[in-house]
Structure 1
Amino acid sequence: MKKILLIFLTALTSAAYAQKPTPKSAADIAPLLIGEKIPNASLKTPENVDVSILDLLKKKKTVLVFYRGGWCPYCNIHLQSLAGAEEQIIDLGYQIIAVSPDSPENLKATAEKDKVKYSLLSDSKGTFIKAVGIDYQAPENYKEVINVHSNGINNSLLPVPSVFVISTDADILFEYIAPDFRQRISTELLVSVLKNLK
């Protein structure tokens, strides 16, 4: 009975987020806040396997990163920077999970190009991105590239680049959200935050 109720509540929550209008610009988003919980969502691995984000978060404290896609040079620099600090982040007791609207196939290309060993996950439909409250309408000049990189699933939504630090209970402990996609948290500052959260 509990399982049926949980499935029903998850479906109801997903339906509510799906109906929420997408903000017109990155400055208009209403993200989840520190102290709130990350909602569940089904995402895809580079091998096109469905995974529950909450199941992954239960395993270890998490640095949860949202990026625009492997086509974005600022995102690639950020992903590479995180890859360079991954050992430090793991030593502090965290895992890194990065989510984008890119298709599973395109995640593989990004992992190879950016020398990423941590988890890259696909949210091509934008369900999880919307649930976290960081979605906005893509400017016209981005629509073709995001359509291609999501394999035709998404042509209108982008996430605001964000980093959340999440507990194993899915609580948001820290967040860095940058409506200006050129601004990213430095790995030095992120590592400092993780040390202070211990």
Structure 2
Amino acid sequence: MKKLFFIVLVAITAVTNAQNAIPKFATDIAPLLIGEKIPNIILKTSENTDVQISDLLKKKKTVLVIYRGGWCPYCNLHLQALAEAEKEILDLGYQIIAVSPDAPANLKITEEKDKVKYTLLSDSKAEFIKAVGVAFEAPENYKSTINVHSNGVNTSLLPVPSVFIVNPESDIVFEYISADFKQRITTELLVSVLKTFK
């Protein structure tokens, strides 16, 4: 009996460790799937105040964007494109929330630079990107950049850029995730998808 108990304990520990391990490469992530819930993590606003993500999600249907940071030119182009399509997205009954490892002060810079009016949130501790399953070990040449832009809180993790469509109950109804950070969903395709859920 003790031997069986030991085997079960080892198996549970191995599974837990596998789930907690951060992938080395963007291609190895295991993101949440359609039908699963966005975890309720506390993030920070650009004003450096705490906010529970579920409190924001329950207000209305949400386009939830996870991006690498305001230092990433591909992310900036994506955020700008979303800003340009924001009125159409709002008219369809959605809000836009974008999360990155950037510290709150750096979110303000991104808001101004990319003319963003929608909500930007800070996940400096990388708790949210880990919980959603899109975190991976950043290549060495990115670590100093991440460190600086998270104000020293995050020294090694990057998110795979992702877009989730989430209902007010925090359920994922659509997702677009590409391990190639240069590939983003176009706003045209995103709007088309949003219309199907209207």
Rg larger for = 2
Shift of residue 95 of structure 1?
0.1
In the TM superposition, residue 147 of structure 1 has moved relative to its aligned partner by 0.3
Secondary structure of 2:34's aligned partner: coil
What is aligned with 1:11?
none
CA RMSD, Structure 1 to Structure 2 (Å): 1.1
List alignment gaps of at least 5 residues for structure 1: 1-15
Partner amino acid, structure 2, of 1:155: T
TM-score (norm 2): 0.90
What secondary structure is seen at the aligned counterpart in 1 of 2:143?
A: helix
User: How far does residue 102 in structure 1 lie from its aligned partner after superposition?
Assistant: 0.2
Identity of matched residues, %: 74
Question: How far off is 1:75 after superposition?
Answer: 0.1
TM superposition outliers: structure 1 runs of 4+ over 2 Å: none
Q: Note the C-alpha offset of 1:155.
A: 1.1
Counterparts of 1:18-97 in structure 2 under 5 Å?
20-97=20-97
| Structure-2 residue corresponding to 1:9 | none
Query: What pairs up with 1:110-189 in 2 under 5 angstroms?
Result: 110-189=110-189
Q: CA deviation at 1:188?
A: 0.1
Aligned to 2:194: 194
TM normalised by structure 1 equals 0.90
Structure 2, unaligned stretches of length 5 or more? 1-15
SS in 2 for 1:59: coil
* Residues matched between the structures, number: 182
- Aligned equivalents of 1:177, 1:192: Cα separation in 2: 17
Amino acid at match of 2:91: D
- Structure 2 distance, partners of 1:154, 1:143, is 9
